Chain A
Amino acid sequence: MIEERFDAIVVGAGMGGNAAALTMAERGLKVLQLERGEYSGSKNVQGAILYADMLEKLIPDFREDAPLERHLVEQRFWIVDERSHTGIHYRSDDFNEEKPNRYTIIRAQFDKWFSQKVREAGATVLCETTVTELLQDSHGRVVGVRTDRDGGEIHADVVVLAEGVNGVLGTGAGLRGRPKPDKVALAVKEMHFLSRETIDARFNLKGDEGLVIEAAGTISRGMTGMGFIYSNKECISLGIGCLVADFQRTGETPYGLLESFKRHPSVAPLIEGSEVKEYSAHLIPEGGYKAIPQLCGEGWVVVGDAAQLNNAIHREGSNLAMTSGRIAAEAICLIKSRNDPMTAKNLSLYKNC
C-alpha cells in the first residue's frame, strides 16, 4: 500500500500516540500513524479526567476548540459500606479560574479532535489498519511494521509503540512481557445520560463546573478496587474497577459489581432516570514503577499504557501517556537533527529527559 519510507511510525492513536505523532510532525519529521479503529478514539476508553498541564505543553491554546466537558471544582472521596458512606470532600471556587487545571472529557470525541491536530501538523494518519507485527532485521533491530492491509510492510527509522495496555507488538517481539493479572485492573463503565439541569442540581454545579466522586469499600467485595462517578455536561461516567487477579480469584463478575455500585443508596439517586448509551471495559496498568518495562531499544520506543506508565493511586494514565509520547518524540527529533541512527543508546535520551 505505502511504498515510501518514513522517519517514524507511530502505532496507536490514543493519548501517547497522538502526543508523539504531533510532536514529531510539528518538527518536520515524516510521520505515519497507524490506528486500528475507524478513527482515533473509537477504541479508546478512559474515565475520563484530563490534566491541563500535560496537554498545554503540546497544544497551549487547547481550551479554544478542544471538546472539553466540565472543569473540576470538587473532588469527593467516599468510604462506603452496604448502606452508608463517609468521606472527604474538597471544593473550591478558586478552581473557577480562567484556565482551569483539569476537566472531564469523553475520549472518543476528544481523541478525534486531538487526531485532527496531528493531521494538521502534517502526519499521515491511517485508520482501520491493525499492525500485526514488528519487522526486525537480522540483528533484531526494528525496521518497520507489517499491517493487515495487502502488501502491508512499511519501513521507518524508528517505531513508537503507543499500542496501549494490551499492545501485542512489543510482547510478540519479546521486547516486554505481557501484563500480569495482579498488575492490571479491569474497569467497567457506563455512560448515563441526564439533562444538564438535572446534573447541575444533583451535584450542586453551575455553568461548566464539574465534580468527581471516587469510592472504595464494600462495593469491591474484598477485592482491590474503586468506583468512580464523573460529571460530564449531559452525562455521568460511572464505573468500577478491580485487579484482574482478584476477579480471577473470587469469581465476582465485573457487571455484577457495577450493578451493585449503581444500586448503592448513595449512588442510585444520582443516576435515577438516566438513559445508558454505552457499556465499556478497559484494563488499567497498576503495577507501578517496578512494572515499567524496558522503554527503548534498537529502532523502537514504548510510551503510555503500553509501558505501564500509570499512577494508579491518582488516576494518572493519559497524562503520563501524553508526556511520555512527547518526551520520546523530542528525543527522536533530537537524534534525527544530529543525523544519528536510532540505536538503543541514542534513544535512551528518552529515558533520561
Chain B
Amino acid sequence: MPSEPSRRVEDKLFYNRYLVDSGRAHIKVRPHTTPSSRLLSMLKACPARCYELSDKGHVEVTVDGCIECGTCRVICEESGDIEWSYPRGGYGVLFKFG
C-alpha cells in the first residue's frame, strides 16, 4: 500500500552528509503563474522531494537535500522550466558510500 512519502524521504535524507552552499542554489525554477506539467511531475519524480507546491500554486525548489541525480534536468531543462547546474566545487551532497 502507498506509504506516506513526505515523511519517509525526509528521514532518508537525514542519513546523508551535505555541504550546503547558502544563497547559491544550483537549480532555479523559472518564475511562472501556472506550472507546466513537467514542473508538476517533479513534485513526485524528484527522489529527494526538493520540489514543492507553494500556497500560491507555484512549483518551488529547495536544493539543500538534493542528491544531484539530474532527473529534473532531464525533464525540465530543455523547456526552460528550470536552470540546472552543478553545485560549486566541494559543495552539495557528499556520499560516504555512493
Contact = CB atoms under 8 A, between A and B. Distances in A.
9 contacts: A36-B90, A108-B97, A128-B90, A166-B70, A186-B47, A247-B44, A248-B45, A278-B97, A279-B15
A281 B87 CA distance: 16
B23 interface: no
A280 B90 contact: no
A219 B37 CA distance: 25
A45 B93 CA distance: 11
Interface of B: 2-3, 5, 8-9, 12-13, 15-16, 19, 38, 41, 44-45, 47-49, 67-71, 73-75, 77-78, 84-90, 92-98
Main secondary structure of the interface of B (DSSP, over half): loop
Nearest to B26: A130
A191 B17 CA distance: 14
Contact of A251 (B44, B78, B90): B44
A132 B87 CA distance: 10
Contact of B96 (A181, A244, A278): A278
A255 B8 contact: yes
B13 to A, nearest CB: 7
Interface in A173-190: 178-181, 184, 186, 188, 190
Interface of A: 36-38, 41-46, 48, 106-109, 111, 127-130, 132, 147-149, 165-166, 168, 178-181, 184, 186, 188, 190-191, 235, 244, 247-248, 251-256, 259-260, 276-283
Contact of A130 (B13, B67, B73, B86): B86
Contacts of B85: 132, 168
B13 A45 contact: no
A283 B44 CA distance: 16
Contacts of B88: 130, 148
B15 to A, nearest CB: 5
Given A147-B89, A178-B74, A181-B75, A279 B67 contact: yes
A330 to B, nearest CB: 27
Given A107-B95, A281-B67, 7 more contacts: A37-B90, A43-B92, A48-B98, A107-B97, A188-B47, A255-B8, A277-B97
